[in-house]
Amino acid sequence: MSKEAILGAIRRGLKRGPLPADQRAMLEGRLATHPRHLIPARSRVGRPEQIALFIRNVEKEFGTVARVPNFAAIPQAVADYLAAQNLPARFAMAPHPELKRIKWADHPMLEVETRKGEPTDLVSLQHGYAGVAETGTLMLPSDPHRPTTLNLLPDTEMVVLRASRVVGAYEEAWDLLRAERTDKQTGGFMPRNIMWVTGPSRSADIEQTLELGAHGPRALHIILVDDDPAAKA
């Protein structure tokens, strides 16, 4: 079988057989402790500065951010954004409990459909799991409450993110995931899919010149809910 042939050739090259038990145990230990390496100093700042760094980096990558004081303020922020972009007040929303709890019915001008993304969608509203200040990156894991298609098919993606979920470095976001998730089906913490998203879709394939709006969303708008007292500037 090719598996044995490949492993055999690797071992011949390394001039050894399968690893002895003590070395395997050492490597198992490294996997279990998954040590961090050097983390850039840029995100090692106070909470308000971390939030500011996150916003600055999102904007640098052509995303936009609106800060709102609480979840109740989200519908108005959504309505304002869609009106300013000249977009219809209709969107596909992730079936996440935090989004479903919002009193959308009080805002009859907004047409909300709770579902996955469809090819004809112009706008989606996703629930963000975490944000990484280091590069203005969103962490969007797939689960029944956060369909992946909402990140891909619409022309415009809006993402609700709690400020308390903005961390400095990617490693801190991995820590959240490891601590908070257990998949019943696999026993692991990884969902089927995790997208790290930094700004809207783009391509530089034509003469190495950057153009926004390749196959994914042409615009990415983050609604940042100021739920973290320590994070307020």
Chain positions 75 to 134 lying near another protein, rule: CB under 8 A, are 95, 115-117, 119, 134
Using the minimum distance from each CB to another protein, give the nearer residue, 151 or 165.
151
For 125-169, the DSSP string reads EEE--EEETTTTEEEEE-BTTB-GGGGTSSSEEEEEEEGGGEESS
In the complex with another protein, the residue whose CB is nearer, 156 or 201, is 201
Of the candidate spans 67-75, 122-130, 148-156, 221-229, the one that interacts with another protein by CB under 8 A turns out to be 148-156
Provide, rounded to whole angstroms, the least separation between the CB of residue 104 and another protein. 19
Among 101-109, 145-153, 158-166, 225-233, the segment contacting another protein (CB under 8 A): 145-153
Q: What binding mask, one character per residue, do residues 164-193 give for another protein by CB under 8 A, x or -?
A: ------xx--x--------xxxxxx-xxxx
Could you say which residues in the range 31-60 bind another protein, by CB under 8 A?
A: 31, 34-38, 40-42, 57
Window contacting another protein (CB under 8 A); options: 80-88, 101-109, 203-211, 225-233: 203-211
- Span near another protein by CB under 8 A; candidates 70-78, 121-129, 149-157, 160-168: 149-157
Gap between the Cα atoms of 177 and 157, Å rounded: 23
Residue from the set 69, 205, 232, 233 that interacts with another protein by CB under 8 A: 205
Asked if residues 91 and 121 have their Cβ atoms less than 8 Å apart, the reply is: yes
Residue 203 contacts another protein per CB under 8 A: yes
Name which position in 49, 59, 143, 226 contacts another protein (CB under 8 A): 143
Report d(CA 31, CA 33) in Å as an integer.
6
Q: Among residues 49, 73, 107, 198, which is the contact residue for another protein, using CB under 8 A?
A: 198
Q: What angle do CA 167, 186, 144 make, to 5 degrees?
A: 60
For 77-105, give one letter per residue: b (16+ CB within 10 A) or e: bbeebbeeeeeeeebbbbbbeebeebebe
Q: Among residues 11 and 232, whose Cβ is nearest to another protein? A: 11
The 3 state secondary structure assigned to 93-128 is ECCCHHHHCCCHHHCCCCEEEECCCCCCCCEEEEEC
The Cα-based distances of 211 to 11, 99, 155, 202, 230 in angstroms read 47, 32, 15, 6, 38
The residues, any chain, with a CB within 8 Å of residue 48's CB and separated by 6 or more, are 230, 231, 232, 233
Least spacing, CB of residue 64 vs another protein, in Å: 15
Only one of the segments 15-23, 75-83, 105-113, 121-129 lies at the binding site for another protein (rule: CB under 8 A); that segment is 15-23
